[in-house]
Each structure stands twice: as structure tokens, then as C-alpha cells.
Amino acid sequence: MQISSRFTIASHILIVIALREEGERITSDLLAGSVGVNPVIIRKTLSQLKKSGLVRVARGTGGAVLSKDLEDITLLDVYRAVESLGKSGQLFSFHERPNPDCSIGRNVRQVLDKRLLAAQAAMEKELAQTNLASLVADAEYYIQKES
């Protein structure tokens, strides 16, 4: 299983917005050029980030800005903003019809559920410990190192 690229695209977008030069307008075209995807994907992702309260987007030529301080945006916030966990809120979905006539089929959900929930909790705990400020600092380091 793989988490979709929406998460890394959203993280990339937030880093670009955070590192923008004073007065620079951050448009979907500019972001699309940095991320390397179609501006439509950027606009959809910005919409999700806006809905989650992480960015403000001015229509037209206004561009995007962060709605919160860098220290107050975690990777868990970004993940929850763009990854659809559905009504269950669970990362791992379960196949719908294990065979009830099979002893393993009848019990596989009980065998896996607790472990999968623990794995999701561990991932979310790790994401919650990393904020946008640390990502921006790392990005600045690598950019400076290139110079």
C-alpha cells in the first residue's frame, strides 16, 4: 500500500509558500512549475489546504499564503487535509467479504484490526512531531548547500 502523492505535493506547496520572497505572489502556475504537476492538481490541493485552515487563497492574481505560523502546522495536519480516510478514519481498509465458511476468513479481521490501528497511530504520532518550520529549515539548508 502506498499513500498517494497528494501528501508530498501538499507538503511541497507549503514549503514554497513559506519560503516566498516578500511581495511574491504564489500562484497555481508558479507552484505547478516547482512541483512538476498540472496547475489543476495544485488548485485542488490548495482547495483542500484552504478547507483545513492551513492556507488562504485569494482568487485571481492574489496567490496563496499560510494561515498559521510555521510551528503550528504539522505533517499530520497536512496529511489529514489531503488524504481521504473516509468515514472510518482508518488508513487501512479491509476487504469486504472474507469467507465466513473459512476459519481464517471468519477471524482475519480480529487478527489484523488491532495491529493495523496501532500502525496508523504510530505513523500519525510521528507526523505530529514534525512541523513546517523544521521542513522549511531543512529546505533552506539544502538550498544554501547548493550555492
Query: Got the DSSP string for 11-26?
Result: HHHHHHHHTPPTT---
Left (φ > 0), alpha (ψ -120 to 50) or beta: where does 86 sit? left
CA 42 to the chain's CA centroid: 13
**Domains along the chain?**
6-146 (1.10.10.10)
Q: Which pLDDT belongs to residue 90?
A: 78
Q: Which pLDDT belongs to residue 76?
A: 96
Report the mean per-residue pLDDT for the chain. 91
Q: Nearest CA to 82 among 2, 11, 1?
A: 11
d(CA 52, CA 67): 10
Full pLDDT tens readout for the chain, 147 residues: 556 789 999 999 999 999 987 778 999 999 999 999 999 999 999 999 999 999 999 877 678 999 999 999 999 999 999 987 766 777 787 788 889 999 999 999 899 999 999 999 999 999 999 999 999 999 999 999 998
Tell me the pLDDT tens digit for each residue of 73-110: 999 999 999 987 766 777 787 788 889 999 999 999 89
Cβ distance 66 to 33 under 8 Å? no
